[in-house]
Amino acid sequence: MSNVEKHIDRWRKGLSQSDAFTGGDIGELENHLREEIAVLQRRGLSEQEAVLVARHRLGDTSQLAEEFAKVDGGRRAMQHLSSMAMGVLLFLLASYASNGISRGGVWAGAMFGLNGYTLGGIGAGLRILTVISLLLFGWLILRSWARSQPVGASGGMSVPQAILWFLVAVLLAGTTIGGELLFTAATVRSLGVAEYGRACLVMGYARFAWTILTPILAAIVFVAAGVHVQRHRRVCDNV
Amino acid sequence: MAVSKDLVAASAAPMILSILAEGDSYGYAIIKRVRELSDGQMQWTDGMLYPVLHRLERQGQAESYHQASETGRKRKYYRLKKDGSKALAQHKEQWMLVHTTLQQLWEKNACLT
């Protein structure tokens, strides 16, 4: 790859980081950049000079992104909306699944003859662990899915794709909720109601603590992400 | 003499429409034409042309189509639509009004000095 190609490649990657540009926008700007570079080179500028002048004339990426976003604000809003919907779906699925898995753990513990308090601890711990790891796992899957989309794709999905996701979600939710019920029934049968009540008590306390802690954790993550993005943006602007 | 940013922004749409009225064109050629006509005095940030073109397209004043360029790359051409011609006529009226008003004022002032 020549230097010009490498430079254009890096520049194109910079643009595709922003959701303001569609694949078509980037192609159009790239054509412009290439044409300008060719003209400047014909006028006797070196490869590097031509690239620098052409890029300068085209304008800096963040400024362009701002202008492009103004024209097509609707598409951006849809993109945000669809990622929000994905987030909500992911959260629901992760919490159903973690309920199912934690009840499974409690049932297995009961089979080993553990007492109600220990089982409650196991249930609560499993629930928190699985919800965190499922969220992380789901997020990784969603991210790799988003990255596999062509540059600047609309960000939404086609109807068959949406139906497929919906069916998968319903199936997962159904299985985990069903599993939770079956495991709970089996546990109650083997432990007896009183011992199971103790397990529920511990899980209830843990749930209470978790309910208070999660928003705090979420707030910390939001603030950290905000600081990170701002720092990243400053670095990009300086390049 | 550099033209102020506000004036550049305000004149972008009428200028693009006027160039498209001469015939179909694409981004780079439009910028080149503006540079030639203004003797390089109208300095646009090249990339800013495209959002304006896209807005015109969305508003139904222009339409686009793809055609291969000499280098074989796909190039996006823009064509003026009926609404674009109408909008251009309005732009012309407005700009002429501003122009004649200012001209009269400046001629009067020229007499005073």
For chain A, domain boundaries = 3-71, 73-238
Taking the CA of residue A157 and the nearest CA in chain B, the distance in Å comes to 22
Write the DSSP symbol of residue B48.
Answer: G
| Rama region for A80: left / alpha / beta (φ>0; ψ in -120 to 50; rest) | alpha
Q: Among candidates B79, B76, B88, which has minimal Cα distance to B18? A: B88
| Contact in structure between A120 and A201 (CB atoms under 8 Å) | yes
pTM above 0.95, yes or no: no
Q: Which residue of B has its CA nearest to A56?
A: B45
Domains of chain B: 5-112 (1.10.10.10)
Phi, psi of A183 (to 5 degrees): -60, -45
Q: pLDDT at position A85, please? A: 83
Cross-chain CB nearest to B48 (options A25, A28, A67): A67
Q: Which residues of B touch A67 (CB under 8 A)?
A: 47-48, 51
Q: pLDDT at position A222, please? A: 86
Give the model's confidence band at B100: pLDDT under 50 very low, under 70 low, under 90 confident, else very high: very high
The mean pLDDT of B32-37, rounded to a whole number, is: 89
Q: Among candidates A95, A112, A107, A93, which has minimal Cα distance to A182? A: A107
Q: What confidence tens digit (pLDDT) does each residue in A177-231 have?
A: 999 999 999 999 888 888 889 989 999 999 899 888 888 988 998 898 888 777 7
Q: Amino acid identity of A46? A: S
Angle at B23 between CA B18 and CA B28, to 5 degrees: 80
Cross-chain CB nearest to B48 (options A31, A35, A59): A59
Q: Is the pLDDT of residue A111 over 70?
A: yes
CA torsion through residues A64, A70, A72, A74, sign: positive
**What is the spatial distance between Cα A124 and Cα A208, in angstroms, rounded to a whole number?**
11
Cross-chain CB nearest to A32 (options B46, B51, B58): B46
